[in-house]
Amino acid sequence: MLVIKGYLLSLGLMNILIENADSLEFFTTTGVWSKTAAEGKVFRTTLTAFTAAKQEAIGKFNIVCHIPQTNQFVNLDHGKGKGAVEAGATK
C-alpha cells in the first residue's frame, strides 16, 4: 500500500453547518445565530442540515462544510427557509 504524507485532513474534522446567507451567521444548538463557526450546530449529513434549515424562520441559507484546522468553508448546498419572502406574494 502506498502512503503519501502531506497536508491531508481527516474527514472526521470537518463540520457541516447551516449558514444564514444574508447575515453570514451560523445556526447554533440553542437555536440562535452566531458569527463564530465553532459555536455552530454540527450536522451529520448535508440532508439533515438542509431539512433543519428548511424549517427555520430564515430566508436564504447555505449548507457549508467548515474545516476548523484551516478555517476554510466549502459551500455544499443552499435553499430558502420558512422566513423566505416569496416574490410577488400578496396578503
pLDDT tens across 3-44, in order? 555 554 444 588 999 999 999 999 999 999 999 999 999 999
- Which residue in the block uniquely carries the three cell numbers 502531506? 6
31 domain residue, yes or no: yes
Are 27 and 40 a contacting pair, CB within 8 Å? Answer: yes
65 domain residue, yes or no: yes
21 domain residue, yes or no: yes
87 domain residue, yes or no: no
Dihedral pair phi/psi, residue 20, rounded to 5°: -70, 120
3 domain residue, yes or no: no
Does position 54 have pLDDT exceeding 80, yes or no?
yes
22 domain residue, yes or no: yes
Number of domains in the chain: 1
What pLDDT shows up at residue 83?
A: 79
Domain containing residue 72: 11-80
51: alpha, beta or left? (left if phi > 0; alpha if psi -120 to 50): alpha
H or E element that contains 48: helix 46-54
Is the whole-model pTM more than 0.85?
A: no
1 domain residue, yes or no: no
52 domain residue, yes or no: yes
- Separation of alpha carbons 72 and 60, rounded Å: 21
